[in-house]
Amino acid sequence: MTLISLFRGAVAIAKHKISEFFLYIGGLTSLLAKTLLYMFAPPIRKWQILEQMQRIGVASFPIVLLISLFTGIVMALQGAYQMQKMSAEMYIASLVALSLTRELGPVLTALIVAGRCGAAITAELGTMRVTEQIEALETLSANPVQYLVVPRFFALIIMLPLLTICADFFGMVGGYLIGVGKLSITHSVYMKMTLDPLAVKDVVTGLIKSVSFAVVICTIACYEGLNSEGGAEGVGMATTSSVVRSFILIIVADCFFTALFYFIR
């Protein structure tokens, strides 16, 4: 095999991968546009939205609570290593509060929901696709995007910010337990060092991130599910792809918004 043929093969593979990438981005954009178009088109299925809110938000609350609580504990313990050397233990409260509201609260919550609920959405819709239930909906003149995607979209953009607020709170509780119980910081000092550095912008930026993460999770999970093929194996591959791609785009979106908020502060 000559060098020229190897080069041509590499170019052909690169072209194929690039075309696949743009087709995927186009599919996601098209699905998101249809979802936004049908969001306020009647009928609005309130009971389906409430059911999805229970599945996505209420059912995810215990794991979000545990992970955020122990994240706050670990952050306080790790921060204590350096802060104690400078006799600045009181600043651990500010470190925990700002890190959680700006960054860790939204990102950790989104990753939890993507792994738990995004995978479930993909598996559910993928099973409906391979068993031809979606074709049956279309036969009955029901739009699959309006019937299946919109309720999950509403539920995610409502519940993910609420879960993020809970994660911020319980993460601070974890930091408080270490700061007051282990590092002997007084309650009044810890609360003052937690609340004084926090600004409305810190909380709002975290909530803006969580809404964008909800859009990413719902769009990818529903797209992968609606385009599943190949039976049970195909559904499994779509579910894995949904989680991995959601994780990647969540981190990319977080990087983008962090840079954006840094430059417009």
C-alpha to C-alpha distance for 83 and 92, rounded to whole angstroms:
7
Task: Quote the CA–CA distance of 234 and 213 in Å, as a whole number.
Answer: 25
Residues 165-194, mean pLDDT to the nearest whole number: 88
Mean pLDDT score of the chain? 87
Q: What percent of the chain has pLDDT over 90?
A: 37
Cα torsion angle, 37, 41, 43, 44, sign: positive
* ∠ Cα 15 20 21 (to 5°): 100
Encoded tokens for 44: 């609005």
Which of 102, 101, 25 has its CA nearest to residue 259?
Answer: 102
3-state DSSP helix/strand/coil % of the chain, to nearest 5: 85, 0, 15
User: What are the pLDDT digits (tens) for 67-100?
Assistant: 999 999 998 888 877 777 777 777 888 888 988 9
Give the contacts of 87 (CB within 8 A, at least 6 positions apart): none
pLDDT, position 264: 67
64 or 40: which leads in pLDDT: 64
Contacts of 39 (CB under 8 A, 6+ apart): 150, 153, 154
First to last CA, the chain: 57
Rounded Cα–Cα distance for residues 2 and 262 (Å) = 51
Please give the C-alpha separations between residue 69 and each of 84, 194, 214, in angstroms, as whole numbers: 22, 16, 22
Domains of the chain, by residue range, sit at 43-263
pLDDT in tens, 31-50: 899 998 888 878 777 888 89
Length of the chain: 265
